[in-house]
Amino acid sequence: MPTDVIMPQMGESIFEGTITKWLKKPGDKVQRDEPLFEISTDKVDAEIPAPASGVLKEIKVSEGATVQVNTVVGVIDVEGAPAAASTAKPQQPAQSAARTTGGAASTDGPTQTKASPQADDSAGRQPPATENAPVVQESGGGGSNGGPGTEVVMPQMGESIFEGTITKWLKKVGDKVQRDEPLFEISTDKVDAEIPAPASGVLREIKASEGSTVQVNSVVAVIGGAGAPAQAQPAAAPAAAARQQETARIATEERPAAVQPSQPQRDHVIDFPATDRGHDGERLRSSPLVRRIARENNVDLHNVPGTGLGGRITKNDIQSFIQQHGPSVQGRPAAPPRQMPQPQAQPMPQTQQQPQAQPQQRPAAAAATPAFQEIPGELVPMTPMRRKIAERMVESRRTSAHVHTVFKVDMTRVVKLREKIRKQWEARNGIKLTFMPFIAKALMHGIRTKPIVNSSVAGDSIQYHKNINIGIAVALEWGLIVPVVKGAENLSFVGLQRAIIDLGERARSKKLVPDEVQGGTITITNPGIFGPQFGTPIILQPQVAILGMGGIFKEPVVITDEDGNDSIAVRHIIRLVLGYDHRIIDGADADQFMVAVRSYLENFNEDIG
C-alpha cells in the first residue's frame, strides 16, 4: 500500500520549503524514520525522515524545487518493502499499525538508530540492514506478544519551539505506566515540563536517551501490552555495536604497517559540541544538518559567515565555505606557531638552526602542562536550562542599556497589617498571605503613573502595552524560570495572590505550559527571601524594566512628627531596586515611578479580602 511523503510544516509561520537533496532514489529501500530528504526553510535546515518502511516508488518534486507545506513530494510503496529478517509476515502488520496507531515494534530498530546521530557521524553510516536486522527480530517478537503499541512522541511545547531535550526518564523499560502518569521530563528554550504517558501499558522501549535533543513529533518511546521481550532489545544494539568495534579493532591491529600512515590524519579531526558558540560566548545558530556537514569535513563553524536570519549558518553557507577553502581547515591555523622560532634565524649553517628551534619548543610545552595540573576539580556540562539562562542573560546585557536605582521603603504599615490579619485571612481564603501581592499592587500603581515602564522597544518605536503581565521569577533547584500573571490589573488582591502561588507551585513541579512563561511585560524578582539587602537584576527581554526585592529588616529610622520634632524609631525597611533600559526610560521617569511605588506601600490602605 503506497504512503505519501509530504512537505512538513516546520513552524506556524512557515508555509513552504525547498528540497535541497534527496538522500534516496526511486527503487531504494527505506526504513521508517530513516533520513529521506533534506529541506531548507526561512528558519531551519533539516533532514526529514521517512514516514514508513518500504521502497521509494516515486519522487514527485525534484531537488531545488520550493513547494507549499503538506504537498506530496514522494511515494513509498510499503507493500514492496522486503523484510529485514525472516519474519516477514509479522513485520507488515506491525508497519500498518505504526501508521494507524503509532506503535509498531518492527519499526523500533531504525528509530533507535536515528536517536544517536552523534555516533553515526563519528563512526560513519552503516548499512541499515546490517544495523537493524537483529533489532527488528527482537521487536517483532515483542509486538506479536504485546499487540500493537503506542508511540510516545516529543510534544511541541510552543509555536516557535521545534526541538526538546530529554532531561530525565521517570520510568525504565519494563515498568508499568498509567495514562497521564508522568513519563519523562524535557527542557526547551522556554519551559521545563513533565510529559505524561499517552496510554496505559508497559514501557516497551526507550528510543531517545537522557540528554539527547530531538525534533518535535519524533518518536522517543513505545508503550505496549507486553514489555518483557523488549527488555533485551536495548542490550542487543550495544552488543552489536561492541562486536563491530571489536572487529574494527582487530582489523586495525592486523593491518600491515604500510597502511598505518593514514592514522596521523586523526590529529585534524575536531569534535564540535551540539551547541557551538562564538568566541564572544554567543551561540552559533545552525541546524543539526549544518553541524553534521561541519564535523564530516572538519570545519570550524566559527570561521563560517552566516547569511540566514539572525546570522544563522545555512547549508549553502557551509557548502560554499567548503568549496572555497576545502575541508580540514582546522589543521591550517595550527601551523604558524611552529614557524615562530624562525625569525631569530641568523646567518649560520642550517645544521645549527634546528637545535635552536627544538629547545624553544620543548620549554613552551613543558610550561603549558602545569596550568592544567594546578587547577584540580570536576568539569560538569551545563544543563539545557542553564545554557538557555546564560544565553538570555548575555543577550539582555548586550541589548539593553542597564541602569539601576535603589529606594528604601518603610514597610512597617504593611508588615503590621499582615501580622494582624494573617491567620484569619489564610483561613478564609485557603492560601498563604505573602508580601508579593503587596509589591505587585504597588508596581501596578507605579505603572499608572509612568506607563513607559510597562513597554518594550520595537525597532525605532516604543510599544506601550495595554495589559500588565507580571513575570514572577521562581528559583528552582535546577535553575530559574519566570511564569507570567497575565492581566494582573484585572485581578483582586486575593486573585493576585492565588495566581502567584499557583504559578510558583506548578513551576517547581514542572507543570507549567509554554503560554504561562511567555508574554510578560515587566518582572518582579524576590531574592530578599535569602537575606540580601538588594541586588541588581538583569532585564528579561524584550521587557524594559525589572523590580528587585531585598530583604525586610528592622532598622533605626529618624521619624519627624507633624510639629517637626525628630525621633528615632525601629521600622521595617525593604530596599527595592528598579533595573531599567536607559534607551527609552530616563532616570527621572524611573525615579518618579519608584516614588509612586514607595508612597503606595508606606500608605497602604486597600482592602485585601
Residue 135 has pLDDT above 60, yes or no: no
Residue 99: the pLDDT is 38
Rounded mean pLDDT of 167-193?
A: 87
Cα separations in angstroms, 65 against 3, 11, 25, 59: 21, 19, 16, 12
Angle at the Cα of 415 from the Cα atoms of 413 and 419, rounded to 5 degrees: 120
- My answer on whether omega of the bond before 542 falls inside 30° of 0, hence cis, is yes
Q: How many helices (H) and strands (E) does the chain have?
A: 15, 26
Cα separations in angstroms, 582 against 59, 394, 403, 571, 590: 56, 17, 6, 33, 9
pLDDT band at 345 (very low <50, low <70, confident <90, very high): very low
Residue bearing cell 629547545: 359
Give the whole-angstrom CA distance, residue 75 versus residue 60.
8
pLDDT band at 11 (very low <50, low <70, confident <90, very high): low
Residue 148: the pLDDT is 67
Give yes or no for a contact between 454 and 507, defined as CB atoms under 8 angstroms apart.
no
Give the whole-angstrom CA distance, residue 295 versus residue 272.
7
Cα radius of gyration rounded to whole Å, the chain: 31
Give yes or no for a contact between 40 and 66, defined as CB atoms under 8 angstroms apart.
no
User: What mean pLDDT is reported for the chain?
Assistant: 76
Q: Per-residue pLDDT tens for 68-85?
A: 888 889 999 875 444 333
Residue 478 has pLDDT above 50, yes or no: yes
Give the whole-angstrom CA distance, residue 468 versus residue 488.
6
Full DSSP string of 500-555: HHHHHHHHHTT---GGGGS--SEEEE-GGGG--S---PPP-TTBSEEEEEEEEEEE
Write out the three cell numbers for 428: 478564609
Residue 451 has pLDDT above 70, yes or no: yes
The burial of 592, by beta-carbon neighbours within 10 Å (0-12 exposed, 13-18 middle, 19 or more buried), is given as: middle
Helix (H, G, I), strand (E, B) or coil at 460: coil
Residue 479: the pLDDT is 85
Residue 97 has pLDDT above 70, yes or no: no
Q: Per-residue pLDDT tens for 201-210?
A: 999 999 999 9
Residue 303 contacts by C-beta under 8 Å, 6 or more apart in sequence? 321, 329
Active site residues: 582, 586
Residue 496 has pLDDT above 90, yes or no: yes
The kind and range of the H/E element at 220 are: strand 219-224
Comparing CA positions, the residue from 309, 281, 315 lying closest to residue 296 is: 315
Q: With b meaning 16 or more CB within 10 Å and e meaning fewer, what string describes 234-244?
A: bebbeebeeee
| 252: DSSP letter | H
Residue 340: the pLDDT is 42
pLDDT band at 483 (very low <50, low <70, confident <90, very high): very high
Helix (H, G, I), strand (E, B) or coil at 485: strand
Rounded mean pLDDT of 219-223?
A: 92
Residue 282: the pLDDT is 54
Alpha helices, H only, 21-127: 88-100, 108-114, 117-123
Q: Per-residue pLDDT tens for 577-596?
A: 999 999 999 999 999 999 99
Claim: this prediction has a pTM higher than 0.85: no
Residue 237: the pLDDT is 42
pLDDT band at 42 (very low <50, low <70, confident <90, very high): low
Give yes or no for a contact between 157 and 190, defined as CB atoms under 8 angstroms apart.
yes
Rounded mean pLDDT of 290-300?
A: 83
Residue 199 has pLDDT above 50, yes or no: yes
Percent of the chain scored above 90 by pLDDT? Answer: 37
pLDDT band at 337 (very low <50, low <70, confident <90, very high): very low
Give the whole-angstrom CA distance, residue 155 versus residue 188.
11
Please report the sign of the dihedral spanned by the C-alpha atoms of residue 82, residue 85, residue 86, residue 89: negative
Residue bearing cell 531545488: 64
Give the whole-angstrom CA distance, residue 217 versus residue 1.
23
Residue 343 has pLDDT above 80, yes or no: no
Residue 70: the pLDDT is 82
Residue 540: the pLDDT is 93
Rounded mean pLDDT of 20-40?
A: 90
Give the whole-angstrom CA distance, residue 113 versus residue 131.
8
- SS (HEC) of 309-350: HHHCECHHHHHHHHHHHCCCCCCCCCCHHHHCCHHHCCCCCH
Residue 530: the pLDDT is 86
Give the whole-angstrom CA distance, residue 206 versus residue 204.
7
Q: Which domains does the chain have, with CATH numbers?
A: 2-77 (2.40.50.100), 162-220 (2.40.50.100), 386-603 (3.30.559.10)
